[in-house]
Chain A
Amino acid sequence: MKGKEKWTNEVLGSLKGMQPAAPPAYLEARTLELLNKSMAMPAQLTRQLSPLFRFGLSAGVVLLIGINLFCLIGLKPGSQAGELSPQNIISDDYFKPLGNI
């Protein structure tokens, strides 16, 4: 029993006097390189994103014009060209309550 306790205490005290390990010499250079890359990242990202941004902007403008045109003409989805009539402009359901009066 005493042997076990003695051994446990020895193991628990085995880290006393431990010297700090030196990090590998290349670590500093590697970290600096990584840091430079991460610092350059925002600029790179902007360059990479700008064509995407331009595409998004144009698509957004086209979509806006499309929605505006659709609202102006007021064509019901599914209507055939040349069938532009009040029934096609406003939904049929809209007139139903009026019919009961």
Chain B
Amino acid sequence: MLDEPALISSLKNAESKGFKELMRAYGRMVYNTALSIVQYPPDAEDISQEVFITVFKNISSFKGESKLSTWLYRITTTKSLEHLRKRRRKKRFGFMQSLSELFGGGTSAFEPVEFVHPGLSLENKERAAILFAAINQLPEQQKVAFILFETEQLSYQDIAESMNISVSAVESLMFRARARLRKLLGAYYDSHER
């Protein structure tokens, strides 16, 4: 059983033992949340690193009013969304980049491949890949709420605390996310004539 106050005090004392314990206890959670949002394992690894370094640097400002996991979820979702925004900006300038590559060489713009979560069972892989592609079309807040609920199995209360919004706002986000996903999946079904 994790002794959270002891862990926090160890982190505040900058003990490497505390940091290792933090990564062992929350590494999987942080990595999986980031992975579900950015849907690209190398990026999820980078985000996980950033999250832990942010925690270590800002642990003195953690007042302990919420659970450590809530704080970690907040940092992870914020970093993941920032990452997606950066990726979108890169994509926007992709044309310019490809022009410069044509004339000056260089690496190609990043393009994520179809995402298959490694934790999925074989029979669900194909359907979940379609769902993840649809989740990608959701607005940021809806996407985060849906992922925290569906993949992290957080309660609405925990999601509300992680996102710093009210429970009714989470309910509304979930309702709109499901409605939008139904619409997107319906359109996909029609276009593929299943």
Contacts and interface: CB of A to CB of B under 8 A. Distances in A.
Interface of A: 3-4, 7-8, 10-12, 14-24, 27-28, 30-32, 34-35, 38-39
Contacts of B23: 28, 31-32
Interface in B70-118: 117-118
A21 B117 contact: yes
A17 to B, nearest CB: 7
17 contacts: A4-B186, A7-B189, A8-B182, A12-B182, A15-B124, A15-B131, A17-B121, A18-B120, A18-B128, A19-B119, A23-B31, A23-B44, A23-B45, A30-B45, A35-B52, A38-B53, A39-B14
A17 B120 CA distance: 8
Nearest to B178: A12
A4 B31 CA distance: 34
B interface, how many residues as a size bin?
A: 35 or more
B136 to A, nearest CB: 14
Contacts of B49: 27, 30-31, 34
Interface string B26-49: 011101100100000000110011
Contacts of A16: 150
Interface majority SS (helix, strand, loop, mixed), chain B: helix
Contact of B53 (A7, A8, A31): A31
Interface string B151-194: 10000000000000000000000000010011001100110001
B16 interface: yes
Contacts of A24: 45
A28 B51 CA distance: 12
B163 to A, nearest CB: 19
B31 A35 contact: no
A15 B124 CA distance: 8
